Structure 1
Amino acid sequence: MTWAEDVIWWHVYPLGFGGAPIRESPTPGHRLRRLLGWLDDAVDLGCTGLLLGPVFAAETHGYDSIDQFRIDPRLGADGDFDDLVTACRERGLRIVLDGVFSHVGRGHPLVEQALREGPDSDAARSLDIDWGHPDGPRPRVFEGHDSLVRLDHAADAAADYVVDVMTTWLQRGIDGWRLDAAYSVPTDFWARVLPRVRGNHPQAWILGEVLHGDYAAIAAASGLDSVTQYELWKAIWSSIKDRNFFELDWSLQRHNDFLQHVRPNTFVGNHDVSRIASEVGPELVPIAVVILLTVGGIPSIYYGDERGFTGVKEHRFGGDDAVRPAYPDSPADLPRTDIWQVHADLIHLRRAHPWLGAATTRPLELTNTTYVYRATHGERHLDVELDLDAGRAVIRGADGGVLWRYR
């Protein structure tokens, strides 16, 4: 068991949180420091870790990095990052960074030099760009995005580069990494890289972004500690929205199997998807949060969800902006609401029953709009009652007593 299996993450997209310009002129600033004023609020919510989106120098949205050894000037500088790590340590918060190792931005200095000098240049070899584009001798790109140049993950230089980046920031005080688009990188690349990283940092936790497939097999082949549970995410919101709890039950059966091999990162929102309040409506958000916090896994709360933010992800240029908003400087400027209290109550219930992280579920009652399931680990259990028609959720302890109720 690793320390991360009991963490409840507060997931933040820093460029959005700090109000940094994304596509406009990259105005420098110390926007990372805005997080300092919010850490106590995250602790009050019950979170025990800070899961950060990209913080490294990039061209626009952060996933087009140009220097992963340097804090993005729009967010600040080394001192701002060091102060954030210190503040997290003082509050008992773990901290994980987002590593984009599938690709780099086309504006990366070595990419620009390689494009000028060709695939046999020292620049191309030092970063190991993948030149296997199907249309000729030019770099492959990530999922059709010309601004994102793929690395050659079969090459030693790419592995050396990733090990260097990961180790550098672990030495700076972070606790682990989220590997962006881990699904797009061969598992044998991670199997070569991660043991080298863990050689000096054996407690580092590594979360891979995986969209679908056999999560357990992917984690085993790559050496990942955890993977993102997108199947469950989809089943939670769509079973509520479509009034079809049979979908959720089916997904939880698969989730039970995954839990025997890997403890996934569970969530109902992140920087890449529409807000849960927009998907199911504000009045049914508590039911989604109940599910999230009473099934096995390592949950994360995406900033703003705990305050009922809405926002729809659109598949267009700038279509992520609505789900990556700025936060005010202080929690005093964004009062806590009933939905904040729902999150806090359920997170604290989860922390009072840490065995839920490994719990499997089985249905006790199931219709399209009602679902009663038992979450069990060893000799311990609790029952969860969900009713979409009434908009009601009840959690009962092993003795049948009510631990928490919504409506």
Structure 2
Amino acid sequence: MLLEAIYHRPKNNFAYAYTKEELHLYVRTKKGDAKEVQLIHGDPYHFEKKSGWQYEKAPMRLSGTDALYDYWFTSLKPPFRRLRYGFELTDGNETIIYGEKGFRDEPTSEDMGFYFAFPFLNGIDVFSPPEWVKDTVWYQIFPERFGNGDASLNPKGTVPWRSEEPKVDNFFGGDFEGIIEHLDYLVELGITGIYMTPIFKAYSNHKYDTIDYYEIDPQFGDKDTFKRLVDTCHEKGIRVMLDAVFNHSGYYFPAFQDVLENGENSIYQDWFHTREFPLQEKPYPNYDTFAFEKSMPKLNTENPEVKDYLLGVARYWVEEFNIDGWRLDVANEVDHQFWREFRSVVKAAKEDTYILGEIWHDSMPWLLGDQFDAVMNYPFTEASLNYFARGKMNAREFSDELTKVLHMYPDNVNEVQFNLLGSHDTPRILTESKEDKEKVKQLFLFQLSFIGTPCIYYGDEIAMTGEHDPGCRKCMIWDEEDQDREMFSFVQKLIQLRKDIPAFGNHGEFRVLHADPDENTLIYKKSDATTTLLFILNPTESSQSIPLPQAYQGQKGTDLWSGETLDPSASCTLEPYQFQIIQY
């Protein structure tokens, strides 16, 4: 066995408390190396005079495989909430013992320091995101483009709804009344959570350049209207998440205007990351910004005054308006200590508030239980688009990537990961799919049957198109004759299945059973204690005969989509872009 490939870390995503009693443990080996892995475990204080440390062995199961590695998993409940442990790995010829100090030929009952340690399972350290998120289906709304319900609020120069293509600087008059008017549409679809891009006073149409964090942008309405929006959502079973832009302010934020006017004599000059005076915008700003955007100066969240101001904002909108979540823009560029204090403040105001970070890369440092509940799951997004929409990944590569995604974080995190296919920052999924709606259906099927909390970008459910920003920010289509109602019904049915069958959604274990790199077909399983579902997908342009896993050959099942009883068979024949969901 290749020793260099064997890896375990006694914290983070390889050893963690899943509940106040249960530990999850993983070890990684080279792909195909180990045939069997057992956990050697015992209480660190359990010794016998003659035989030394007392340990037991428990089998570990193969939880996933990617292009390079196998991952082995087990869970256990230490009777005294503490553990010493190691791993016994066998390839059929060779057996090795792996512990914190390296490798041995046999277990040791004398050198306790050889083994890994989980010193104590403290209840307060268990990562416990809000339970309600696990069963939420989100819908992202770009408020300026969702619905114009009160024309009296229209900004100067507002153009008629859908009268022209979206631009970086045009306005169509979307507002809170427009959202309230269409909440029943969201209820009909099955939505139970809305995430709105920024609603606070700002200069632009996207509102990521905040002028006042305590005021609603006047084009959207006032605080009374917003309170009515939140209350109405709650009455209809819909949670509300707002966008917090705490990495940077807007150009017209009063504190930044003071720095522009008074330079190094400004009482706010330490609110930002200024490098020299006077401030200059060309060729690049001489102050830190989001990217190189001069209108978005970066806030100094290490400054106590800035920190107090922003934490007050975080508390205010939770306490005064009973919002249910914060999505944190450019979260990876803000210091960790700020986010720790942010979590304390928000959870004190409302314990089950969902805290979601916008991070596009491996986010484990933010997901240790002291900062965020989850991040926007862009690794999931990219893998799904590359396989189903772009054709840049075959089924085996897709399966490998899913294994990485699911082993990147603890299960507690995976269950509330924000699984999106598109957003205001990306081309729409129908455009990514070159306007092939059958590809979009397969994307929705996979998204809504995967582990995590899925989010639909407004209009994707009725097959709207749009290139990258600003093209992806078109006005929502409300004329039913211009909507794809068949796509709407398709998504609606998937959401209902997710609600009706726990194993379909977030309460079933996910496992890929078949990923053919040549035929490009896929079978994955979702299962719980009472239900097993096989998802069989043919995302290709030709008819495919797909062999069922041996364990399911000859078993009767029900086609969950059509309701038909299926006769036992060794294979399943699917037409191009067809799928089958078999319930056993």
For normalisation by structure 2, the TM-score amounts to: 0.63
| Residues 237-282 of structure 1 deviation map (CA, whole Å, 9 limit, x = unaligned) | 1112215222321221022222524131001111111111111222
* Structure 2 residues without counterparts, runs of 5 or longer: 1-129, 149-153, 159-166, 281-285, 547-551, 563-577, 580-584
Partner of 1:312: 467
Alpha carbons 2:359, 2:375 under 8 Å: kept? yes
Q: Distance in 2 between matches of 1:66 and 1:244?
A: 46
Equivalence map 1:169-318=2 (5 Å): 169-171=317-319, 172-213=321-362, 215-220=363-368, 223-240=371-388, 241-242=390-391, 244-257=394-407, 258-262=409-413, 263-280=416-433, 281-313=436-468
Does residue 139 (structure 1) correspond to residue 296 (structure 2)? The answer is no
| Residues 47-70 of structure 1 deviation map (CA, whole Å, 9 limit, x = unaligned) | 111111111111112111111111
Matching residue's letter, 2:440: V
Partner of 2:268: 123
Does residue 402 (structure 1) correspond to residue 559 (structure 2)? The answer is yes
Q: Distance in 2 between matches of 1:236 and 1:162?
A: 36
Alpha carbons of structure 1 residues 336 and 159: separation in structure 2 relative to 1, 3 Å: same
Matching residue's letter, 2:476: Y
Alpha carbons 1:64, 1:148 under 8 Å: kept? yes
Q: Distance in 2 between matches of 1:6 and 1:221?
A: 20
- Per-residue deviation, 1:199: 1.5
Does residue 54 (structure 1) correspond to residue 198 (structure 2)? The answer is yes
Alpha carbons of structure 1 residues 149 and 392: separation in structure 2 relative to 1, 3 Å: farther
Does residue 386 (structure 1) correspond to residue 531 (structure 2)? The answer is no
Does residue 3 (structure 1) correspond to residue 132 (structure 2)? The answer is yes
Aligned length: 396
SS in 2 for 1:220: coil
| Residues 351-390 of structure 1 deviation map (CA, whole Å, 9 limit, x = unaligned) | 1123532544322211232011112345643211110225
Partner of 1:316: none
Alpha carbons 1:252, 1:361 under 8 Å: kept? no
Q: Distance in 2 between matches of 1:196 and 1:92?
A: 25
Q: Distance in 1 between matches of 2:556 and 2:355?
A: 38
Alpha carbons of structure 1 residues 370 and 106: separation in structure 2 relative to 1, 3 Å: same
Q: Distance in 1 between matches of 2:293 and 2:543?
A: 44
- Per-residue deviation, 1:187: 2.3
Matching residue's letter, 2:367: A
| Residues 129-160 of structure 1 deviation map (CA, whole Å, 9 limit, x = unaligned) | 22247998953111111111001122222221
Matching residue's letter, 1:401: T
Partner of 1:101: 246
Q: Distance in 1 between matches of 2:186 and 2:171?
A: 28
Matching residue's letter, 1:10: Y
Partner of 1:87: 232
Q: Distance in 2 between matches of 1:68 and 1:300?
A: 25
Q: Distance in 2 between matches of 1:384 and 1:96?
A: 31
SS in 2 for 1:149: coil
- Per-residue deviation, 1:101: 0.6
Matching residue's letter, 2:273: D
Q: Give the root-mean-square deviation of aligned CA atoms.
A: 2.9
Does residue 374 (structure 1) correspond to residue 529 (structure 2)? The answer is no
Q: Distance in 1 between matches of 2:266 and 2:138?
A: 43
| Residues 164-209 of structure 1 deviation map (CA, whole Å, 9 limit, x = unaligned) | 1111111212111111111222222201221122122212111111
Q: Distance in 2 between matches of 1:41 and 1:26?
A: 23
SS in 2 for 1:11: strand
Q: Distance in 1 between matches of 2:522 and 2:294?
A: 46
Alpha carbons 1:187, 1:222 under 8 Å: kept? no
Does residue 326 (structure 1) correspond to residue 475 (structure 2)? The answer is yes
SS in 2 for 1:98: strand
Q: Which structure carries more relative contact order (alpha carbon 8 Å, separation 6+)?
A: 1
Q: Distance in 1 between matches of 2:385 and 2:233?
A: 31
Alpha carbons of structure 1 residues 298 and 259: separation in structure 2 relative to 1, 3 Å: farther
Alpha carbons of structure 1 residues 135 and 272: separation in structure 2 relative to 1, 3 Å: farther
Alpha carbons 2:200, 2:216 under 8 Å: kept? yes
SS in 1 for 2:361: coil
| Residues 265-303 of structure 1 deviation map (CA, whole Å, 9 limit, x = unaligned) | 001111111111111222211100111011100111110
| Residues 16-63 of structure 1 deviation map (CA, whole Å, 9 limit, x = unaligned) | 224675755879x67221111211111111111111111111111211
Q: Distance in 1 between matches of 2:374 and 2:543?
A: 32
Deviates more, 1:246-255 or 1:102-111: 246-255
Does residue 15 (structure 1) correspond to residue 144 (structure 2)? The answer is yes
Alpha carbons of structure 1 residues 17 and 321: separation in structure 2 relative to 1, 3 Å: farther
Larger radius of gyration: 2
Q: Distance in 2 between matches of 1:118 and 1:102?
A: 21
Alpha carbons 1:96, 1:175 under 8 Å: kept? yes
Alpha carbons of structure 1 residues 30 and 145: separation in structure 2 relative to 1, 3 Å: closer
For normalisation by structure 1, the TM-score amounts to: 0.88
Larger helix proportion, structure 1 or 2?
Answer: 1
Q: Distance in 1 between matches of 2:330 and 2:535?
A: 34
Matching residue's letter, 2:495: I
